[in-house]
Amino acid sequence: MIVKNKYSGDQFIELKDTNLVDAETTLNRAKKAFQEMKELPSFERYEALLRVSKELENRREEFAKIISNEAGKPIKYSRGEARRASITMLFSAEESKRIYGETIPMDVESRGKNRYAYYNRVPIGPVFAITPFNDPLNLVAHKVGPALAAGNSIVNKPASLTPYSGYRLNEIVNNSGLPEYAMQTVVGSGGGEVTNYFLNSEDVKMVTFTGGVEAADRLIKKAGIKKYSMELGSNSPVIVWNDADLELATDAIVDAAMESQGQNCIHSQRILIHREIYDDLSKRLVEKVAKLKVGDPLDDSTDIGPMIAESEAIRVEKEVNNAVTHGAEVLIGGKRNGRFYQPTLMAKVSHDMGLWHNEIFGPVSILQPIEDFEDAITMANDVPYGLQAGIYTNNLDIAMKAIQKLDFGAVLINDTSDFRVDVMPFGGMKLSGLGREGIRFAIEEMTEIKLAIFRK
Domain boundaries, the chain: 20-232+432-455, 236-421
Residues with active-site annotation: 231, 265
Handedness of CA 254, 392, 283, 370 (dihedral sign): positive
Rounded CA-CA distance 246/252 in Å is 10
Q: Report the pLDDT value the prediction gives residue 2, as an integer from 0 to 100.
A: 46
Contact present, 139 and 26 (Cβ < 8 Å): no
CA dihedral of 412, 418, 424, 425, whole degrees rounded to 10: 90
CA-nearest of 15, 134, 72 to 310 is: 72
CATH class of the domain whose range is 236-421: alpha beta
How confident is the model at residue 16, as a pLDDT? 83
Q: Which of 224, 222, 203 is nearest to 30 (CA)?
A: 203
CATH classification for the domain delimited by 20-232+432-455, as one of 3.30.360.10, 3.90.800.10, 3.40.605.10, 3.90.550.10: 3.40.605.10
DSSP-derived letter for residue 107 is G
Task: Give residue 6's pLDDT.
Answer: 52
C-alpha to C-alpha distance for 386 and 28, rounded to whole angstroms: 38
Distance set, CA 351 to CA 237, 241, 347 (Å)? 13, 20, 11
For residue 234, the one-letter residue type is S
Give the 3-state secondary structure of residue 62.
helix
20-232+432-455 and 236-421 agree in CATH topology: no
Q: What's residue 377's pLDDT?
A: 98
- Percentages of the chain per state (helix, strand, coil), in multiples of 5: 45, 20, 35
Q: How far apart are CA 309 and CA 136, in angstroms?
A: 15
Q: What is the pLDDT of residue 109?
A: 95
Residues of the chain with pLDDT under 50: 1-2, 4, 8, 190
